[in-house]
Amino acid sequence: MFTLVGKLLAGLRNGGFIVLLFTLFLVLIWGTFAPVGTLVWWLDRGQKKLEERSRELEALLEDNPAEGNGKTCYIVFLTGVGDLSADELTDGETEFLDRLEQDQPQCVTVRDVFPYSAANADVSGQQVFDFLRNVTEQSNGWSDFTQFLLETRNVWRLALSADNRYGQVYNPAIALTIVERMEAQQDIPASSETPIQLVLMGKSGGAQVALGATPYLQRWLNANITIVSFGGVFNGNDGFDAATHVYHFRGDRDWIENIGGIVFPSRWRWTIGSPYNRARREDRYTVLSSGSHTHQGDEGYFGLEEAETGNSYVELTVEQTNQLPIWNE
């Protein structure tokens, strides 16, 4: 954060004030029209696609065999706000998922869901993104600022998921994408007696999107759904009643994950009737200390730097994830 501020001040001294004002204005416009863009997508083709694909998936799942050699566990990973594409995971995220595939061979891993687009479209390649990148590349030392702006763009999408109004459009779209990508990896077995195990893993804002999608996934699938949050920022409404259990890893040096408990009234302790607080009382919500992780970066939950234990930070995350009781169910 201090490095970014220093670069901003240096850029301002070097005549970057106009670039700063323009990019801030652009991001404000971007955020203001984020709900409009999602609603336009919904009215244009999203609602029709969701209805059609829901019917197709229902028929497909009915035709899928209930038994066989297929796996009955799915791990779906949703990236944090710092990622711009589901196809461009960080090296640490890739290592985490590769290790988890080896340690939990009974599960299918899905890693190509981008949680900050109702249409599952990457940020990279969009005209606004390309314009910002070109402008800041011409302004020396502003690449970190561009990343900050794009993370802000993803935060707007997180807000859509958490909003009771726009979440009714955004969250089922993400849930549909999750089911489609699960089906692309392996036919989802259909059985009225034996539910599949669905583990939604969300980093940062991905935890909110996972929770937002959970009620729709429960409606469409016969599944026991578990949420695993890594420094997640989320409200206290979506998903807590639908999920079997929510596990929340928090790092000792991660102050960002505290934001959710501050800005969302449904997370406040005296909001006793919220789904979050009901889950707490019923022991369906568990907070786990992951160690000395920061929110992101080389010392984050998927960081490759060496921790004080001698293992990398991502190795600590893998070890603790493997210790969750969900793998024995």
The pLDDT tens digits for 136-161 are 555 555 556 666 667 777 777 777 78
pLDDT band at 87 (very low <50, low <70, confident <90, very high): confident
- pLDDT at position 109 over 90: yes
What sign has the CA pseudo-torsion 176, 182, 183, 185? positive
CB 114 within 8 A of CB 174: no
How far, in Å, are 123, 135, 198, 311 from residue 108 at the CA level?
Answer: 26, 41, 10, 26
Domain boundary assignment for the chain: 2-328
In the structure encoding, which two tokens stand for residue 293, read together?
């992780």
How confident is the model at residue 8, as a pLDDT?
A: 42
Of residues 269 and 131, more confidence is placed in: 269
Cα 208 from Cα 159, distance rounded (Å)? 9
Using CA atoms, how far apart are residues 215 and 167, in angstroms rounded to an integer? 12
- What pTM was computed for the model? 0.83
Q: 232-287, pLDDT tens digit by residue?
A: 999 999 899 999 999 999 999 999 999 999 999 999 999 999 999 999 999 999 99
Pairing of strands 245-251, 223-230: parallel
Which pLDDT score, from 0 to 100, does residue 71 have?
87
* Bridging pattern class, strands 73-78 and 285-291: unpaired
More confident residue, 183 or 128: 183
Q: What is the rounded CA–CA span in Å between residue 201 and residue 198?
A: 10
* DSSP 8-state assignment for residue 306: B
Instruction: Report the percent of the chain where pLDDT is more than 70.
Output: 69
Higher-confidence residue of 127 and 233: namely: 233
For residues 92 and 219, which has the higher predicted lDDT (pLDDT)? 92
Model confidence pLDDT, tens digit, residues 294-313: 998 999 999 999 999 899 99
pLDDT score for 236: 94
Alpha-helical segments (H) within the chain? 2-13, 17-32, 34-41, 47-63, 91-103, 127-138, 143-162, 167-185, 205-220, 259-263, 275-281, 313-322
DSSP H helices, 193-286, are: 205-220, 259-263, 275-281
Task: Indicate the pLDDT class of residue 163, thresholds 50, 70 and 90.
Answer: confident
- What's the pLDDT score for residue 1? 45
Beta bridge partners of 78: 113, 202
pLDDT band, very low/low/confident/very high, at 193 (cuts 50, 70, 90): confident
- The backbone region for 125, taken as left when phi is positive above 0, alpha when psi lies in -120 to 50, beta otherwise, is left
pLDDT at 65: 60
Quick one: average pLDDT of 29-45?
55
Q: What pLDDT is recorded for position 13?
A: 45
